[in-house]
Structure 1
Amino acid sequence: MTSTIHCEFPACQQPEQSTPFPMTNDILITAAGGFLGKYLIDELKRTLPAEPAPAVHSAGLSPFNDYVVNLAKEQFEPSRGYRTVFHLLGGCHEGDLAALNVACTRNLLASLETNPPQNLVYVSSTEVYGAEEGVEINENREPEPVSQAGKTKLEAETLLREWCAAHNVRLTILRSPDIVGTGMKGPLRRLVNSIYRGNYHHIDDETARLSVVHATDVARAMVMLQDTGGIYNITDGVNPTRHDLAEAFAKRLNNKRIYTLRAKRARTFARVCDFIPLLGYGRKALAERYRTLTFDDSRLRRTTGMTPASVVDYLTTHNYDENSL
């Protein structure tokens, strides 16, 4: 998937020893056709210079990629040296996370061995911290991942740090919470589905907050930080309550009404669901509704000067059209 006039489709193969290509201003993206990739392509179109226009190439499974490759299993041979590689391929919610996060990263780095880029940008996850609750957790916290997503994302980070240090490549790592946008997956997707089906209810004493961020801001941060390097949390800075976030999604669903349960009734219902599985609800799920988990992104704001949009405001005020992401 090339975002300039031309498009290349070199055959996938194991890279051989070859003479390094001269560095260009061109860009390589993994998973450019995925959830985040669409937002990054849109941001690059908005910010890249018209002349001289750098080529934007992609690597992935789709035949529309410039390098058609299954990075979980194989490597490829780049046709040139790239200024920046945006590594978006990975996962936090479904699939073989070890393959998506670790094997894909390892094979990407092996493919770039002969022609290292100047910059490499990786989208990681706040799952690496291993926190179930906490307030304003910053990048100085030692990662202690618990989930498979966190463990494999941290392993990918380690591979990238070691390789980039050895090859004099500037590495930027963005650690994001759940990302809102068209095509989102995971807990937020399940929340939207539950609201749509009428299965989701507010709880009257629920005040917990959670960090979220919109995909447009993740894409913008990737572009702004590519020449900077470092590890950065990114959030919308508002950390909405679950109530406000759910209401914002409901507004996008044609003002779907969400009813409110009294806390006592919610606890009774959760106990019953522990014995009669129903809608994935239970005391464990209820406890999560009361946990605040937020992250501090002040380092990113100081470095870039950007102010990410409030996700709730974006969902409730953005004028969506057929071209909206």
Structure 2
Amino acid sequence: MTILLTGANGFLGKAIGHHFAAETMIRLGRTTGEVRADLQQELPLLPVADLVIHAAGKAHAVPGTAAESAAFEHVNVGGTRRLLQALSQAARLPRYFVFISSIAVYGLEHGVLIDENHPLGATDPYGKSKIEAEQLVEKWCRDNDVVCTILRLPLLAGKNPPGNLQAMIKGIAKGYYFDIKVPPVKKSMVLIEDVAVFIEKIYQIGGTYHLTDGYHPGFSEISHLMARQLGKRKPKAIPYVLIRTMAYVGNFLGPRFPINIRKLEKMTNTLTFTDQKARTITNWQSRAVLEHFKI
């Protein structure tokens, strides 16, 4: 089988590429890969592939300007549109398409065991761009009789993670990360290697799915795990009132300040998703993040 993989050098893309190493892999990237093109502005000439896994995209950034907000549209929507156009011009269409999306499409700050039928209500630039990209992919696959799979993923765990987990690691290593004294807060997470395993199980079937480890660890559990692996003491917990005051200050100081009200709400509200659909259809079994997450 021939696989076209975008975002192959990304955090998840590397795990996907490693899992499918026995297959013929065509990597599409801006500066590396068998096909080199910037999907924001180029329409690449693509070889024939049986399966397309579209993992490229912009995330892990809080926009501070209108231009930074627009970048999500350019990369996640414009890049997807150009990829689909290029596939339409190839000598043969792929049989299967897997799109890596995000739970951000729901626009939720809290909730328990949300399923895939929940309304898509994102209003932020990232979430909105993922909604529009999903819609482009679904329509293209439907029009071209291509089996479509969409994975709405939560926080991804794996070695040297980006985004919030990387910020936690650095904060704990340098001694400036603190837990918050609040009731236990649960967050859905999944290991990147388990995502790759699920892709192999589902790409011929299609559908929209959540993936989690089934336990939904809290930030304090993750921070304590990181501290043990770094050989540090577990982070001290500070009162919620104090951190909330700092978060209000962060609203005025901008994105470089480590905390603001939006980040605080994410850290102190439970938000979990059910992946019962994925487990039922494929008998996929995930591993516990707290047992297998190595930083």
TM-score w.r.t. the length of structure 2 is 0.88
Which deviations, in whole Å up to 9, do the C-alpha atoms of 1:282-304 show, x marking residues without a partner? 55544433211111111011112
CA–CA distance in 2 between the matches of 1:271 and 1:71?
A: 38
Aligned with residue 309 of structure 1, among 273, 287, 294: 287
Change (3 A) 1:159 1:207: same
- Are the equivalent residues in 1 in contact too, given 2:223–2:234 (CA < 8 A)? no
Match status 1:295 vs 2:273:
yes
- 1:230–1:282 distance in 2 versus 1, CA, 3 Å: closer
- Structure 1 match to 2:64: none
Q: Any unmatched runs of 5+ in structure 2?
A: 62-67
Select the residue among 79, 83, 96 that pairs with 1:104: 79
Alpha-carbon displacement from aligned partner over 1:31-89 (angstroms, at most 9, x marks no partner): 212211210111113xx4xxxxx4211111124x111111111112223x211011111
**Deviation for aligned residue 1:112:** 0.6
Alignment partner of 2:172 out of 195, 205, 212:
195
Q: Kindly provide the amino acid, as one letter, of the partner of residue 312 in structure 1.
A: L
Write 1 or 2 for the structure with the bigger share of helix: 2
Task: Return the match for 1:135 from 97, 112, 119.
Answer: 112
Judged with a 3 Å threshold, the aligned counterparts in structure 2 of structure 1 residues 287 and 166 are, in CA distance, closer, same or farther, namely: closer
Bigger CA drift: 292-301 or 205-214?
205-214
Please give the residue correspondences for 1:171-190 in structure 2 after superposition, counting only pairs within 5 Å: 171-190=148-167
Q: Relative to 1, partners in 2 of residues 1:279 and 1:223: Cα closer, same or farther, differing over 3 Å?
A: same
Structure 1 gap segments, 5+ residues each: 1-24, 49-53, 321-325
- Map of 1:51-62 to 2, 5 A cutoff? 54-62=23-31
Equivalent residue for 2:53? Answer: 86
Residue 203 of structure 2 is matched in structure 1 by: 226
**Cα distance in 2 for residues equivalent to 1:59 and 1:248:** 35
Matches within 5 A, 1:90-169: 90-94=57-61, 96-114=71-89, 115-169=92-146
Pair 1:252–1:100, CA change in 2 (3 A): farther
The one-letter code matched in structure 2 to 1:85 is V
SS where residue 149 of structure 1 aligns? helix
Distance (whole Å) between structure 1 residues aligned to residue 206 and residue 39 of structure 2: 24
Aligned letter for 2:26?
A: H
Q: Give the 3-state SS of the residue equivalent to 1:85 in structure 2.
A: strand
Deviation at 1:279, TM superposition (A): 4.5
Deviation at 1:93, TM superposition (A): 2.0
Q: For the Cα contact (< 8 Å) 2:113–2:273, is it kept in 1?
A: yes
| Partner AA of 2:174 in structure 1 | R
Task: Provide the C-alpha distance between the structure 2 equivalents of 1:276 and 1:107, rounded to a whole number of angstroms.
Answer: 37
Check 1:84–1:268 CA distance in 2 against 1; reply closer, same or farther (3 A cut): closer
Residue equivalent to 2:65: none
Aligned residues: 284
CA distance in 2, matches of 1:28, 1:269: 46
CA distance in 2, matches of 1:250, 1:226: 37
Q: Distance in 2 between matches of 1:123 and 1:284?
A: 24
Shift of 1:218: 1.3
Q: CA RMSD in A?
A: 2.2
- C-alpha distance in 2 between matches for 1:275 and 1:60: 37
One-letter amino acid of the counterpart of residue 151, structure 1 = K
Q: 1:272 to 1:85 in 2, by over 3 A?
A: closer
How far the C-alpha of 1:150 sits from its partner, in A, is 0.7
CA distance in 2, matches of 1:140, 1:274: 33
Determine the C-alpha separation between the residues in 2 that align with 1:124 and 1:145.
13
CA pair 200-307 structure 1, distance change in 2 beyond 3 A:
same
- Asked which structure has the greater CA Rg, the reply is 1
Show CA shifts across 1:225-259 (max 9, x none).
11110000111111112211111122222244311
